[in-house]
Structure 1
Amino acid sequence: MVQGLSTATPPRSPNCNPHAERFIRSVREECTDRILLYNRGHTERILRDYAEHFNAHRPHQGRNQHAPHDDPGVVPLPAPRVERRQAVACLISEYRQAS
């Protein structure tokens, strides 16, 4: 690190970390703007559920519609049946292959 330079993000600079800004925008649009949060514990549980959904199930355009935890080398076979599961306090529906 160069002496005298700070690694902190400057205030009011939304383009310094676009990945964090995009995640925060997604959380607000898909989650927290649609639910009444009661207290800190409830908020933490909702955000933890959303982060799990975001990383394990939600398709991302930059990853060719794969979730971040998906293996891009695996090509899924067409499923004969699809199961729906409610996630993040029933705000989001997740779909999976039925086993």
Structure 2
Amino acid sequence: MSLRLLYLAFRRTTEWLALLTRGNSAKDVEILVLRHENAILRRTSPRPQLDWD
């Protein structure tokens, strides 16, 4: 249990440090990619139709 918590804390810390070292252009590209993925997912799985009757 404590080993898992230590691993998760280490992983989050390294992700945070990697984010700090990136430039603004890399962050902008990542945002654009995530927006594109989101748009594709919205197209492939439409909202369910609610039936109130």
Shorter-chain TM-score bucket reads: 0.3 to 0.5
TM-score by length of 2: 0.41
More strand by share: 1
TM-score by length of 1: 0.24
